[in-house]
């Protein structure tokens, strides 16, 4: 903890606007948080920004690479697959609240923003107890329990969907959209550049399948069984597996390397999006925000164990506007290939999806959120 306090005190010596950004866990929370931080620094170069994440989670590695300081809380979420692992949750929550109090006392922020993830609740809860301005960045169309509790005392709540007054006080809601990485929002990469980068054939359709920064079990398992059928339909595949399925997938596609490109993690997402004709993805809020800008036909496979089933709600918001197709996780092995074939064959449907996605795209949500954050911090 001494190193943590040294980091915080070093930052807090400057007499400038000071902001804590709390949350993480997955790329879907981390990348928007970093986008907000960059936007704040563009608007207020004098701002001191401290990230607070959960120890052992990917934000502890990703955030420092972007040039920001981060400290970690001893906090974890509810484990739906192993109830025994939840026995320590009350202890960890109480410990994290004490840690949050110490961080806030040392750093003395003008405002705290929560972007979702385990660290958001303790940091915003303590900030609200101390009368510090708080901003909730609610990414999803269905708010989780933590944000609903915090929303009652939040200074501002930035959302990306209509009708969020079902969860939050109407007078605190700002429908701004979800932040998107600048490499995606401002991409000028052509389809030909993307195809060349991945070494694929320009004359064949390309399916890009990914399950977020951590991978997706059901998508990976289904593609392991069906990638040959996708190739037989005359398509090619860019496949981001995540860490746990990478070796298995690489082994499975031996002999098909010219048509199926397997990656553990793709940093050049702008090139992958540009190359794709059809995209298969989970329906986390961050992915949806990017995919609206990319505007390629999508098949969503919502993660079934997301809190409040928010990924299904997110996907349905697009399905109802004819901007995407959806396959339930439990039905993926029977339906995914059919949906891919449909989008390959029905150019009218694919074109309509592209048009509707473009209408939903918001490119500068990070700047709008940063302006609101600076406003409440001043």
Same-domain check for residues 352 and 371 = no
Residue 82 has pLDDT above 80, yes or no: no
Same-domain check for residues 217 and 299 = yes
Same-domain check for residues 10 and 30 = yes
Same-domain check for residues 353 and 246 = yes
Same-domain check for residues 236 and 327 = yes
Residue 256 has pLDDT above 70, yes or no: yes
Same-domain check for residues 150 and 212 = no
Mean pLDDT computed over 257-266: 96
Instruction: Print the domain residue range for 34.
Output: 2-179+363-377
* Amino acid 10: pLDDT: 53
Same-domain check for residues 329 and 368 = no
In whole angstroms, what is the distance from residue 279 CA to residue 208 CA? 5
> How does pLDDT run across 311-339, given as a tens digit for each residue?
999 999 999 999 999 999 999 999 999 99
Confidence of residue 221 (pLDDT cuts 50, 70, 90): very high
Same-domain check for residues 173 and 189 = no
Same-domain check for residues 136 and 256 = no
Residue 86 has pLDDT above 80, yes or no: no
Per the structure, the count of domains in the chain is 2
Tell me which of 57-61, 191-195, 223-227, 348-352 is least confident.
57-61
Tokens coding 133:
């301005």
- Name the residue with higher pLDDT: 306 or 282: 282
Confidence of residue 13 (pLDDT cuts 50, 70, 90): very low
* Amino acid 8: pLDDT: 56
In whole angstroms, what is the distance from residue 32 CA to residue 369 CA? 10
Same-domain check for residues 200 and 161 = no
Tokens coding 96:
């994290």
pTM for this prediction: 0.84
* CATH number, domain containing residue 110: 3.40.50.2000
Same-domain check for residues 78 and 201 = no
| Count of CB atoms situated within 10 Å of the CB of 172 | 18
> How does pLDDT run across 170-212, given as a tens digit for each residue?
999 999 999 998 899 999 999 999 999 999 999 999 999 998 6
Same-domain check for residues 169 and 192 = no
Closest CA to 376 of 101, 124, 5, 38: 124
């Amino acid at each position: 903890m001494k190193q943590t306090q040294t980091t915080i005190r070093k930052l807090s010596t400057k007499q400038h606007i000071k902001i804590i950004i709390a949350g993480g866990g997955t790329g879907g929370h981390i990348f928007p948080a970093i986008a907000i931080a960059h936007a704040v620094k563009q608007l207020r170069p004098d701002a001191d920004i401290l990230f607070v994440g959960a120890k052992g989670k990917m934000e502890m590695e990703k955030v420092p690479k972007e040039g920001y300081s981060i400290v970690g809380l001893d906090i974890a979420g509810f484990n739906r697959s192993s109830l025994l692992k939840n026995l320590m949750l009350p202890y960890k929550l109480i410990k994290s609240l004490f840690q949050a109090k110490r961080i806030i006392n040392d750093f003395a922020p003008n405002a705290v923003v929560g972007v979702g993830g385990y660290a958001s609740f303790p940091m915003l809860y303590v900030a609200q107890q101390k009368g510090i301005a708080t901003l909730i960045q609610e990414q999803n169309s269905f708010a989780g329990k933590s944000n609903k509790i915090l929303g009652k005392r939040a200074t501002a709540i930035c959302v990306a969907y209509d009708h969020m007054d079902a969860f939050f006080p109407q007078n605190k809601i700002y429908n701004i959209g979800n932040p998107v990485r600048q490499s995606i929002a401002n991409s000028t990469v052509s389809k030909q550049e993307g195809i060349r980068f991945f070494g694929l054939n320009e004359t064949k359709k390309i399916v890009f399948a990914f399950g977020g920064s951590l991978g997706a079990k059901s998508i990976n398992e289904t593609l392991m069984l069906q990638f040959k059928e996708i190739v037989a339909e005359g398509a090619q595949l860019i496949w981001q597996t995540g860490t746990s399925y990478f070796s298995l997938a690489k082994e499975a596609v031996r002999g098909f390397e010219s048509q199926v490109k397997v990656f553990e993690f793709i940093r050049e997402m702008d090139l992958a999006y540009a190359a794709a004709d059809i995209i298969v993805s989970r329906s986390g809020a961050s992915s949806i925000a990017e995919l609206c800008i990319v505007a390629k036909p999508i098949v969503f496979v919502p993660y079934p164990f997301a809190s409040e089933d928010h990924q299904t709600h997110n996907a349905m918001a697009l399905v109802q506007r004819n901007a995407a197709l959806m396959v339930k996780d439990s039905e993926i092995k029977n339906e995914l290939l059919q949906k891919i074939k449909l989008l390959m064959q029905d150019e009218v449907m694919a074109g309509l999806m592209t048009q509707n996605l473009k209408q939903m795209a918001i490119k500068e949500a990070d700047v709008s959120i940063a302006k609101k954050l600076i406003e409440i911090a001043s």
